[in-house]
A and B are shown apart, each in its own frame.
Chain A
Amino acid sequence: MTGMEGMSANPLDLLPEILLLLGAVGGLLLGLWTPQHKQSRVRILIVVAALASAVAATVDLTEPDKGVFDDSWMIDTTTGIVRITVALATAAAVLLSSTSLAGHPRETEAYVLMVLAALGAIALAASNDLLMLAAAYLLASVPLYALAGFAKDARGVEAALKYYLMGALVGVLMLVGIAGLILATGSGNYVELSGSLPQASMPLVALGVIGVLAGMAFKAGAVPVHFWVPDVTAGTTPAMAAFITTIPKLGAVAAAFRLVAEPFAAIPLDVPLLVAVIAAASMTLGNLAAFQQTEVLRLLAYSTVSQVGYMFMVVAVAGQSDFAVPALAIYLAGYAVTNLGAFAAAAALPKAASIGEWADAVRGRPRLVLSLAVLLLGLVGTPPTAVFIGKLTIFTATADGNLVWLLVLGAVNTIASLFYYLRWIAPAARTVFADSKQPDHMLAGTQARAVMVSTKVQVLRGPAMMVHAAAVLSVLLGIGAGVWLTFIA
Chain B
Amino acid sequence: MLLSVVILLPVVAAGVLLAVPGLPDRAASWFWVAIAALDLALIGWMWIGFASAASEGPSGVVDGIAYEQKIQWIPTVDASYHVGVDGLSLPLIAMTGVLFLAAAIWSLREKQRPRTYAALFLFLQTASMGTFASLDLILFFVFFDLTIVGMYFVIAGWGHGNRRRSALKFFIYTFVGSLALLVGFIGLFLGSETRTFDMVALAADPPLTDSPVAAGLVLLAISIGLAVKTPLFPFHTWLPDAHTDAPAAGSAILAGVLLKLGTYGFVRIAMPILPDAWQRWAMVIVIAGVVSVIWGAFTALAQTDLKRMIAYTSVNHMGYILLGLGAAGLVAQADEQARTIAVTGAMVQMVSHGLLTGALFLLTGVLFSRGGTYAFDRWSGLARPAPIFAAALGVAAFGSLGLPGLSAFIAEFQIFTGALQAAPIATVIAVTGIVVTAGLFLVALQRLFSGEMKVPEAGGIASARSHGGEGKRSAEGGGPRGVKTITGNDDGRAPAVFKDLNGRELTAILPLLILSLAIGLFPRALLDIIEPAAAALTSLVGR
Contact = CB atoms under 8 A, between A and B. Distances in A.
Contact of B138 (A392, A412, A437): A392
B145 interface: yes
B354 to A, nearest CB: 24
A429 B76 contact: no
Contacts of B176: 415
A437 B190 CA distance: 49
A163 interface: no
A451 interface: no
B81 to A, nearest CB: 8
Contact of B186 (A382, A399, A415, A439): A399
A437 B187 contact: no
Interface in B40-92: 71-77, 79-80
Contact of A408 (B145, B153, B183, B473): B183
Given A399-B187, A411-B180, A411-B183, A392 B113 contact: no
Nearest to A485: B75
Given A326-B76, A486-B75, 15 more contacts: A327-B76, A330-B76, A377-B149, A392-B138, A392-B186, A393-B76, A396-B186, A400-B190, A411-B180, A415-B172, A415-B175, A418-B171, A433-B113, A481-B74, A489-B75
Given A418-B172, A426-B164, A407 B186 contact: yes
A305 B79 CA distance: 29
A251 B75 CA distance: 25
Interface in B440-479: 473, 476
B228 to A, nearest CB: 12
Given A366-B116, A383-B142, A439-B476, A395 B182 contact: yes
Contacts of A393: 74, 76-77
B112 interface: yes
B157 interface: yes
Contacts of A408: 183
A458 interface: no
B112 to A, nearest CB: 6
Interface residues of B, number: 38
A482 interface: yes
Interface of A: 323, 326-327, 330, 366-367, 370, 377, 382-384, 388-389, 392-393, 395-396, 399-400, 407-408, 411-412, 414-415, 418-419, 422, 426, 429-430, 433, 436-437, 439, 479, 481-482, 485-486, 489
27 contacts: A366-B116, A377-B149, A382-B145, A382-B146, A382-B149, A383-B138, A388-B142, A389-B74, A392-B77, A392-B79, A392-B138, A392-B182, A395-B183, A399-B190, A407-B186, A415-B179, A419-B172, A426-B156, A430-B156, A433-B156, A436-B113, A436-B116, A437-B112, A437-B476, A481-B74, A482-B75, A485-B75
A482 B113 contact: no
Interface string B132-171: 0000001001100110010001001100000010001001
B189 interface: yes
A323 B182 contact: no
A430 B164 CA distance: 10
A429 B153 contact: yes
Given A326-B76, A415-B176, A489-B75, A383 B141 contact: yes
Pick the most buried of B18, B75, B76, B80: most chain A CB atoms within 10 A of its CB: B76
Contacts of A415: 172, 175-176, 179
A100 to B, nearest CB: 30
A317 B484 CA distance: 64
- Most A CB contacts (10 A, CB to CB) among B79, B112, B180 go to B79
A323 B76 contact: yes
A400 B77 CA distance: 12
B279 to A, nearest CB: 25
Nearest to B180: A411
Which 3 A-B pairs give the minimum distances between C-beta atoms?
A: A383-B142, A326-B76, A411-B179
Interface-centre pick from A326, A396, A433, A437 (highest chain B CB count, 10 A): A396
A43 B189 CA distance: 47
Given A384-B142, A396-B77, A437 B164 contact: no
Interface in B172-230: 172, 175-176, 179-180, 182-183, 186-187, 189-190
B157 A429 contact: yes
Given A408-B183, A415-B172, A418-B175, A383 B74 contact: no
A367 B18 CA distance: 9
B364 to A, nearest CB: 23
B128 to A, nearest CB: 15
Contacts of B138: 383, 392
Most buried by B among A383, A419, A422: A383
Contacts of A330: 76
A433 B182 CA distance: 32
Contact of B183 (A384, A407, A433, A489): A407
Interface in B279-326: none
Contact of B74 (A382, A407, A412, A485): A485
Contacts of B142: 383-384, 388
Contact of A396 (B18, B113, B189): B189
A430 B476 CA distance: 11
Given A396-B190, A408-B183, A422 B171 contact: yes
Contacts of B171: 418, 422
Nearest to A408: B183
A415 B189 CA distance: 22
Nearest to A419: B172
Given A383-B142, A436-B113, A439-B476, A395 B186 contact: yes
Nearest to B74: A481
A382 B152 CA distance: 13
Contact of A485 (B76, B153, B473): B76
Contacts of A367: 18
A433 B164 CA distance: 12
Contacts of A400: 190
A479 B81 CA distance: 10
A367 B175 CA distance: 24
Contacts of B190: 396, 399-400
A324 B79 CA distance: 16
B474 to A, nearest CB: 12
Contacts of A489: 75-76
B134 to A, nearest CB: 12
Contacts of B116: 366, 436
Contacts of B179: 411-412, 414-415
Contacts of B113: 433, 436-437
B71 A482 contact: yes
A330 B76 CA distance: 10
Contacts of A370: 18
A164 B373 CA distance: 62
A126 to B, nearest CB: 22
Contacts of B168: 422, 426
Nearest to A377: B149
Contacts of B76: 323, 326-327, 330, 393, 485, 489
A366 B74 CA distance: 32
Contacts of B71: 482
B147 to A, nearest CB: 11
A429 B180 contact: no
Contacts of A407: 183, 186
A452 B142 CA distance: 42
A393 B74 CA distance: 9
B138 to A, nearest CB: 7
A269 B228 CA distance: 42
Among B18, B171, B190, the one with the most A-chain Cβ atoms within 10 Å of its Cβ is B190
A326 B79 CA distance: 14
A389 B157 CA distance: 29
B141 to A, nearest CB: 7
A399 B218 CA distance: 12
Contact of B156 (A323, A412, A429): A429
A422 B180 CA distance: 20
Nearest to B80: A482
Interface string B335-362: 0000000000000000000000000000
